[in-house]
Chains A and B, each alone.
Chain A
Amino acid sequence: MLALSLVIAGAAAGSALDTRRAPDPVRAGGYFVLAADFHVHAFPGDGALPHWQLAREASRRGLHAIVVSNHNQTLAAQILPGWISPVGSLPLVIPSQEVTTPGFHLVAAGITSTIDWRKPELEIARDIHAQGGVVIAAHPVGRFWQGSDAMIAALDGAEVAHPLTESYAPGREELSAFYARARALNSDVAPIGSSDFHMVAPLGACRTYVFAESVSVDGVLDAIRAGRTVAQDQAGVLYGAPELTALIGQQQTATPSAPVGRFARLAAFFVLIGLFACIVVR
């Protein structure tokens, strides 16, 4: 009984301490600047959290938009009705699919029908564009990218900041080289920072600042098509056009994902200790 009380008290304290929300998007250079994570995995799939909890976590981490991109399915972002995260409310939850093929992975942001990964590469890109989506190269390093130059030219964005650089030594160099190659083939390709979040915090460790004409899904996707983004890696380094990175610096929005407070962590540990007691004391 004591153990269960600890669980409930810890979760209640965690709820009371859960007050952090993303500030409204600032304006810079005539645009709304939205912080977004374009590569997030949800339940059901290989993500731990359902999309409505991802939206809450995104807000805590200072994000205005997330792209729910599960492997070869679009169900996860659409599994429950809109009242859980009403259309237009922040953070924006953009449905997507991580198109997972033998030769490359793409984030197809803004689509609602699943793309067939078996199709030829350019047909996949055409199908994504036909649904009004944008095509983003996901972690284009080593074995995750064997796409042709024609495929690279069809990209709207490419991940240039990704947490893989912490565990894969050549990652930083390979991501930068790929982005340079993409820019040579398509000067409008947007630099993207994504956390590729599954089940280990923090969401938004790497993120993208989007210069959107409106605070809406269409506004975000249009900004990607026009290449109006700045990517930020987990160390806070910015990647993108100098005039846009300068705007981010001026607006001081470039703050990496804020850590969780010690009391919130302590409350969580009460829950875990309570559960531990439930297991060992029967």
Chain B
Amino acid sequence: MNAHAPAVRGSYIPYYVLFYSLLIGACASYSATQRITLSLLLSVSASWMFVPVLHVITAAGLVALSRAQGPRSRAIARLLTQHAPWSLWLLAASAMTGTFGWPVYHWMVAAALIPIALTLRIVHRFVRDELGVRGRRAIVLTLAHQGVTWLVAAIYLDRAVSLVPRIIGWLS
């Protein structure tokens, strides 16, 4: 692993889970109710806590697959510190939809292309510079990490909106 990487301890991982849960809780609360109370913050953060937990699991999988030397928890923590693109998008989407409602919703969904692209770049750099994986294998690992992340999201989406009958309807 990169010896010059900024010092991040493994204890950042539980902080990340709590912080990201709080972020989702605040953003979802404001978008849905135009207010944030302690009760909303606690309930909604606890409900969506599985999202940062999944981030930790996929990061752990990536580090394990890289076969990099050194403490794995620090490597996982280092990847998790790179959450700014999605976090800022969440804040912006929440502030905009909570304030202006449906008219801006589709614009904010389209704006998600920015964190999607930035995260691809961040993960690739992390695999190359922090985990020391080079060339084609770095690209494969990056795509595998993002592929698994999006597969999990797609499975949740399918359960949430019942995709199968919709697809049958669109095709017919």
Contacts and interface: CB of A to CB of B under 8 A. Distances in A.
A53 B38 contact: no
Interface in A60-91: 60, 70-73
Interface in A190-206: 197, 199-203
Interface string B76-109: 0000010110011001001101110110010000
A117 B165 contact: yes
B134 interface: no
6 contacts: A49-B44, A60-B33, A72-B162, A143-B169, A199-B28, A271-B26
A10 B170 CA distance: 45
Interface residues of B, number: 48
A25 to B, nearest CB: 22
Contacts, number: 149
Contact of B19 (A57, A201, A278): A278
Main secondary structure of the interface of B (DSSP, over half): helix
A163 B103 CA distance: 11
A178 to B, nearest CB: 17
B34 A275 contact: no
A233 to B, nearest CB: 14
A199 B98 CA distance: 9
A245 to B, nearest CB: 27
Interface in A16-47: 17-18, 43-46
Interface in A263-282: 264-265, 267-269, 271-272, 275-276, 278-280, 282
Contact of A272 (B32, B37, B40, B94): B94
A52 B43 CA distance: 9
Contact of A101 (B22, B38, B87, B165): B165
B97 A200 contact: yes
Given A53-B44, A102-B168, A275-B26, A202 B162 contact: no
B69 interface: no
A201 B101 contact: yes
A60 B84 CA distance: 33
Nearest to A49: B32
Given A201-B33, A260-B34, A275-B91, 11 more contacts: A18-B35, A49-B28, A57-B32, A101-B169, A117-B165, A199-B31, A201-B31, A260-B35, A267-B35, A268-B30, A268-B36
A57 B97 CA distance: 17
Contacts of A276: 88, 91
B141 interface: no
A249 interface: no
Contact of A15 (B19, B34, B38, B168): B38
Contacts of A240: none
Given A201-B31, A271-B26, A53 B39 contact: yes
Interface of B: 19, 22-23, 26-41, 43-44, 47-48, 81, 83-84, 87-88, 91, 94-95, 97-99, 101-102, 105, 157, 159-162, 165-166, 168-170, 172
B168 to A, nearest CB: 4
Given A200-B102, A278-B19, A100 B31 contact: no
A14 B101 contact: no
Contacts of B41: 11, 271
A132 interface: no
A58 to B, nearest CB: 10
Contact of A265 (B35, B47, B157, B170): B35
A82 B82 CA distance: 41
A277 B116 CA distance: 22
B35 A268 contact: yes
